[in-house]
Amino acid sequence: MSFHIGDIELQSRFFLGTAGYPSPQVLQQAIAASGAQVVTVGLKRQLAQGGAPGDFYRLIQQSGARLLPNTAGCRTAREAVTLAKMARELFATNWIKLEVVGDEYTLQPDPFELVQAAAELVREGFEVFPYCTDDLVSCQRLLDAGCRILMPWGAPIGSGRGLLNPHALRLLRARLPDVPLVVDAGIGSPRDAVQAMELGFDAVLLNSAVAQAHDPVAMARAFKLGIEAGRIAWEAGIMVPQDLAVATTPVTGRPFVL
């Protein structure tokens, strides 16, 4: 079940967001129940709420997970690059989830600013995890900029709509077979996570579906099991749908005589 992000080997294919939990204790329990080895944090959100990044970093260290800071809330490449450098200083990691929003209604990534920021951050030595759309050409441009992983959306952030365009995601997987792909945003239930993994994606990142659940800890475990099941199914070989009925028991045309 393991896979690599750059030089790092991960056993868990579940990336978990950390916003909106009822308490730090519930967040810690949810991380443990999820088995996630990578958790994300929005630096702008932490600073706006008056939280101390050092305190949050210690909480993550106690969980044993790797921290993936993000540039959520940025609208330009310049702003995202500045925030990424700040995150590297505060959290002592070169990993950054790059978000540059181009539309206020859908929070859709701006493909032009995103590529510009990615290229600069790669030159600065960051491992860039770009949050992008499922457009193949935009994804290729990010790879050309030096990204080694892509995080296409399933649906708009926080919408819980699941995978709105499975065809586009399937095409990405087929055309970029050697690139780690993580479905990020829009996941609403473990069913959506299973579907993403059955398409051959390497991991799933989500936040709201766990944090806003009546029981975040139980939901985290449910997603963990769904992600594992979907990956095992992909590796085992999923049955191809048929238009007509296909008999599962051979028919000889002769009755059995006992």
Q: One of 44, 85, 97, 224 is an active-site residue; which one?
A: 97
Alpha helices in the chain (DSSP H): 24-34, 43-48, 53-63, 77-91, 111-123, 136-144, 166-175, 190-198, 208-211, 216-236
Contact 133, 153 (CB under 8 A): yes
Helix, strand, coil proportions of the chain in percent (round to 5)?
40, 15, 40
By DSSP bridging, strand 14-17 and strand 38-42 are parallel
Pairwise CA distance, residues 1 & 159, whole Å: 29
Phi-psi region of 237 (alpha: psi -120 to 50; beta: other; left: phi over 0): left
Task: Print burial letters for 198-218: b (CB count within 10 Å at least 16), e (below 16).
Answer: bbbbbbbbbbbbbbebeebbe
Q: For the chain, how far is it from start to end, CA to CA, in angstroms?
A: 48
97 in active site: yes
Pairwise CA distance, residues 187 & 121, whole Å: 28
Q: Which residues contact 244 (CB under 8 A, 6 or more apart)?
A: none
Per DSSP, what are the bridge partners of residue 96?
128
Task: Supply 210's token pair.
Answer: 């766990």
Active site members: 97
